[in-house]
Amino acid sequence: MNKIAVWGFAWVPPFAQGLVRDLRVRWALEEAGLSYESRWVGIEERGSDAYRRKHPFGLVPVLESDAGALIESGAIVYAIAEHCEALMPHDQRAKTLAWMFAALNTVELPVWNLFVIDLLHQDEAWAKLRRPGAVEEVKVRLSALSEWLGDRDYLLDGFTAADILMTTALRFIRHTDLLAEFPRLDAYVQRCEARPAFQAALRNQMADYAHNVPVAT
């Protein structure tokens, strides 16, 4: 994979900075030691015909390289990991992919639901009524995940692509104290976020937003 470009939003409001899904791709590329360039789509342009030709749903990320274009953070991270033994041992591909889907479906469904309630609809009556149940649904998943981790440092034997997706999925509830109720899980996320590759990815995403910050009108 060469001549890599990663599409993200040019700028997002602070509540979403550090959460947009191109972060996952940046992180995987940093872990794999692959350099890339950022490409930006304005959040208001994502539905345009031109951008829809890159991404049918008008979302980010899109990865472009000499190997072609690819959508969906899960699939992009998997494609990067396929060429990087450190992100996915060859004999652990099926298990790694299982935990990647666990992150983006089993865990992200309830976690994203709570993010939507708290950050996108916080002033609406339904959100206040729904919140306690949504919190319980998150806790069910966090509890199971914490139990799975036990004394493990990572989801599988060593750090893998699945940890990239799980950590970034769990970041959608960074505005709550829920992770702190599960010390093993809290320590796990901190362990993953302490990796130099994550720090570099986050720094680069934030630098792009700083570069593109809207001018006050």
Q: Are 110 and 82 in contact (CB under 8 A)?
A: no
Of 84, 98, 119, 200, the residue at the interface with a second copy (CB under 8 A) is: 98
- Joined together, the tokens standing for residue 166 give 């799980």
**Total number of residues binding a second copy (CB under 8 A)?**
44
Query: CA nearest 7: which of 19, 17, 16, 20?
Result: 20
Which CB contacts under 8 angstroms, 24+ apart, belong to 124-133?
none
What are the residue ranges of helices labelled H in the chain? 22-32, 49-52, 73-82, 93-101, 108-115, 125-149, 161-170, 183-193, 196-211
Contact between 58 and a second copy by CB under 8 A: the answer reads yes
Is the Cα dihedral 193, 73, 54, 15 positive or negative? Answer: negative
Least Å from the CB of residue 66 to a second copy: 13
Query: CA nearest 145: which of 201, 188, 177, 90?
Result: 188
Of 13, 57, 157, 183, the residue at the interface with a second copy (CB under 8 A) is: 57
Contact between 119 and a second copy by CB under 8 A: the answer reads no
Least Å from the CB of residue 199 to a second copy: 25
Contact between 97 and a second copy by CB under 8 A: the answer reads yes
- Candidates 11-19, 36-44, 97-105, 207-215: pick the segment binding a second copy (CB under 8 A): 97-105
Q: Are 148 and 105 in contact (CB under 8 A)?
A: no
- Joined together, the tokens standing for residue 49 give 């015909």
Contact between 5 and a second copy by CB under 8 A: the answer reads no
Contact between 154 and a second copy by CB under 8 A: the answer reads no
Of 45, 85, 136, 147, the residue at the interface with a second copy (CB under 8 A) is: 147
- Candidates 30-38, 125-133, 183-191, 201-209: pick the segment binding a second copy (CB under 8 A): 125-133
| Interface with a second copy (CB under 8 A) | 52, 56-59, 67-68, 70-76, 78-79, 94-95, 97-102, 104-106, 108-109, 112-113, 121, 124-127, 129-130, 133, 141, 144-145, 147-148
